[in-house]
Structure 1
Amino acid sequence: MFTGIVEELGEIVGVEPLGDSARLAIRGPLVTQDAVHGASIAVNGVCLTVVDLKDDVFTADIMKETLDRSALGGVEPGSRVNLERPVRLADRLGGHLVQGHVDGVAEIVSREPGEHWDVVTVSLPPELSRYVVGKGSITVDGISLTVVEAATDWFTVSLIPTTLALTTLGHKGPGDPVNLEVDVVAKYVERLMGADR
């Protein structure tokens, strides 16, 4: 379980295609400080398992499901990625409950720079639209954000200077892919209400 509060902007240092899967090597000096084999680290919002660790680089395998549902299949050496370690039970929940299970890939549609923040419009896949509401929570590339406005095929978020400086969203522009994870609470409520029976 994660909170969507990015700890570090890491870097892809290696990509090894393995047919219907791949192995990524990711540099992250902060998140590797206490990492061990089998630990979980969210990479652009995707929960990955550490399979090897050397100095400040960890490797993780991504299977077909992850390649199909996330934008990680498009990363290459030099790509910047958001990194977060799992939350500890004693920690404050600074963002919202994030599982690291990406629901879909979207694109940045536009960004409007403000004096101190940017307003970013992100496309919204139709199957996720019902879970996104104004002032609700959404995870974009692993970043816990508050939805400003939601329509059927797009939503907006405001990015404060810290988010712009310390995450991938400070560097991405129109047309760039982003991973989305909707609020899991909304999915559970829908299931309990019988909407998907």
Structure 2
Amino acid sequence: MFTGLVQQTGRIEGFSQTSGGALLEVHTGRLSEDISEGDSVSVSGVCLTAAKRSSSSWSFDVSSETLRLSNLREKGIGSEVNLELAMSASGRFGGHIVQGHIDGVGRLERTEKKGDFYEIWVSVSREISEMLLKKGSVSVEGISLTTASLKDAGFSCAVIPETWQRTNLKTLSVGSPVNIETDMIVRAVRKQLEVLTGTQDSGLTIEKLREMGF
């Protein structure tokens, strides 16, 4: 489990297709010493298992399902990625619960500088949009952010200067793909409501809840 507080950025040094997936090599810099084989590491929001170290880099096996749901396939050699080690049981919980299980890929629509702060707009699928709450938590590229406003197919977030400088957001351009993970608590509540209302197959909507008297 992670918290969405990025510790540093890394750099993709290699990407090669393997049987059933891919091998991703990331320059992990000073974090290399704190990683051991088998450790979980958040790479731009994707939970990956450290496989092998080479100097100040680590390689990670990436499954075909992870490649399908995330933007790792689209990131080129030299691309910056956000890195966070798994949270220890005694660690301080500073962000929100981030599993590293990506729901899908959004697109950076625009970035606006507002004084020392920044505002980003991200477009997402309807399925992801339905899982978002205003002033709720969302992980963008592994960064714990709070939604400022919502629309049918996207959302905006305010980004503080520290987060902007520490993460890969400053390197992205309009149209860049970004990994999105919605709040697991929202997902769990929605799932239970679908079970209780018998809408697992058809999907839960506001209209159906109203029909049932909610």
Q: TM-score if structure 1 supplies the norm length?
A: 0.96
Q: Indicate conservation of the 8 Å contact 1:43/1:82, yes or no.
A: yes
Percentage identity across paired residues of the two chains: 35
Partner of 1:91: 91
User: Secondary structure in 2 aligned to 1:134?
Assistant: coil
Q: Indicate conservation of the 8 Å contact 1:4/1:84, yes or no.
A: yes
Structure 1 residue 29 displacement after superposition: 2.0
Q: For 1:132-147, list aligned pairs within 5 A.
A: 132-147=132-147
Structure 1 residue 75 displacement after superposition: 1.8
User: Secondary structure in 2 aligned to 1:74?
Assistant: coil
Q: Indicate conservation of the 8 Å contact 1:109/1:175, yes or no.
A: yes
Partner of 1:64: 64
Structure 1 residue 19 displacement after superposition: 5.4
Unaligned runs of 5+ in 1: none
Partner of 1:177: 177
Structure 1 residue 18 displacement after superposition: 2.1
Residue identity in the other structure for 1:174: V
User: Secondary structure in 2 aligned to 1:101?
Assistant: coil
Which whole-Å CA distance do the structure 1 matches of 2:109 and 2:77 have between them? 25
Q: Deviations over 1:174-196 (max 9, x none)?
A: 10000000000001111122265
Partner of 1:77: 77
Q: Is the radius of gyration larger for structure 1 or structure 2?
A: 2
Q: For 1:47-62, list aligned pairs within 5 A.
A: 47-62=47-62
User: Secondary structure in 1 aligned to 2:100?
Assistant: coil
Structure 1 residue 164 displacement after superposition: 1.2
Q: Deviations over 1:159-182 (max 9, x none)?
A: 111111111111212100000000
Which whole-Å CA distance do the structure 2 matches of 1:79 and 1:129 have between them? 27
Q: How many residues align?
A: 197
Whose helix fraction is larger, Structure 1's or Structure 2's?
2
User: Secondary structure in 2 aligned to 1:87?
Assistant: coil
Q: Indicate conservation of the 8 Å contact 2:80/2:171, yes or no.
A: no
Residue identity in the other structure for 1:131: M
Residue identity in the other structure for 1:86: A
Q: Indicate conservation of the 8 Å contact 1:163/1:170, yes or no.
A: no
RMSD, aligned α-carbons: 1.2
Q: TM-score if structure 2 supplies the norm length?
A: 0.89
Which has the larger displacement, 45-54 or 16-25?
16-25
Which whole-Å CA distance do the structure 2 matches of 1:15 and 1:61 have between them? 10
